[in-house]
Amino acid sequence: MSNTLKEVLASNKKYSENFTKGSLSLPPARKFAILTCMDARLDPAKFAGLNEGDAHVIRNAGGRASDDAIRSLVISHKLLGTQEWFVIHHTDCGMQLFTNEIMGNLLFETLDTSEFDGKNWRNPNAKGGSIEGKFINWLTFANLEQSVVDDVSRLRYHPLVPPYIPIYGFIYDVRTGKLIEVPKAMEIGKPR
């Protein structure tokens, strides 16, 4: 058993011994959802003032409005009653450090972890990977603000998203902890 597994199980044991939130209702109490990045430096519960049961938090690499994120948001609204959505990307995002081509090539060489020297990615060994990485859109981006605008737009104009849901666009600053409004995204995300 790995040390990580041991630590997680020990923490869960301690957490569950005093667990008092088993009666929270299924729909989020504050009726909103956040789509944000999986980056470990982001703690949506802290930066948005959430407690368990308050909101849905959907996370993926980059906080992108992928098909699966849209699936989750539509379920969040349609079946669980969320009425407002936040799209929150962040500064210093790793999704800006590579392209679809770079990722595809790295995976083609090996499935092992790659290394980044601050400028370039490389594989420490090339012991055989898979061509499948070349067929995936990794949803990378070069312009952070534009990525928020693009994702709010994708949600706003998606045929399964009701036009009355406000969709807010922000950038979380990993250095200050502040949410920075993206005005163009906020305009696009207004209810119609």
User: With 90 as the cut, is the pLDDT of residue 43 above it?
Assistant: yes
Q: Please tell me whether residues 88 and 146 are part of one structural domain.
A: yes
Q: How many CB atoms lie within 10 A of CB 96?
A: 16
Q: Please tell me whether residues 57 and 87 are part of one structural domain.
A: yes
User: With 90 as the cut, is the pLDDT of residue 32 above it?
Assistant: yes
Q: How many helices (H) and strands (E) does the chain have?
A: 6, 7
Across 94-123, average pLDDT: 96
- Identify the pLDDT of residue 189: 98
Q: What are residue 162's phi and psi, to 5 degrees?
A: -60, 140
Sorted by sequence, the CB contacts under 8 Å of residue 139 that are 6+ apart come out as 61, 62, 64, 66, 95
- Identify the pLDDT of residue 89: 98
Are the C-beta atoms of residues 154 and 118 closer than 8 Å to each other?
no
Q: Please tell me whether residues 43 and 127 are part of one structural domain.
A: no
Domain span at residue 86 reads: 29-97+140-192
Q: Please tell me whether residues 116 and 126 are part of one structural domain.
A: yes
Q: Please tell me whether residues 39 and 133 are part of one structural domain.
A: no
Q: What is the pLDDT of residues 45-76, one digit of tens each?
A: 999 999 999 999 999 999 999 999 999 999 99
CATH of the domain at 175: 3.40.1050.10
Residue 126 banded pLDDT, cuts 50, 70, 90: confident
Across 102-126, average pLDDT: 95
Across 96-120, average pLDDT: 96
Q: Please tell me whether residues 39 and 132 are part of one structural domain.
A: no
Calpha distance 175→68 (Å, rounded): 29
Calpha distance 117→28 (Å, rounded): 42
Q: What are residue 56's phi and psi, to 5 degrees?
A: -85, 140
- Identify the pLDDT of residue 8: 97
- 41-45, 48-52, 126-130, 184-188: which range is least confident on average? 126-130
Residue 18 resides in a domain: no
pTM: 0.94
Average pLDDT over the chain reads 97
Q: Please tell me whether residues 127 and 145 are part of one structural domain.
A: no
Residue 127 banded pLDDT, cuts 50, 70, 90: confident
**CA dihedral (110, 112, 115, 119) positive or negative:** positive
Residue 41 resides in a domain: yes
Across 131-143, average pLDDT: 98
Q: Please tell me whether residues 85 and 144 are part of one structural domain.
A: yes
Residue 75 resides in a domain: yes
Q: Please tell me whether residues 182 and 153 are part of one structural domain.
A: yes
Q: Please tell me whether residues 189 and 115 are part of one structural domain.
A: no
Helix (H, G, I), strand (E, B) or coil at 180: strand
- Say how many domains are in the chain: 2
Q: Please tell me whether residues 84 and 50 are part of one structural domain.
A: yes
Q: What's the distance, CA 129 to chain centroid?
A: 26
Q: Please tell me whether residues 35 and 127 are part of one structural domain.
A: no
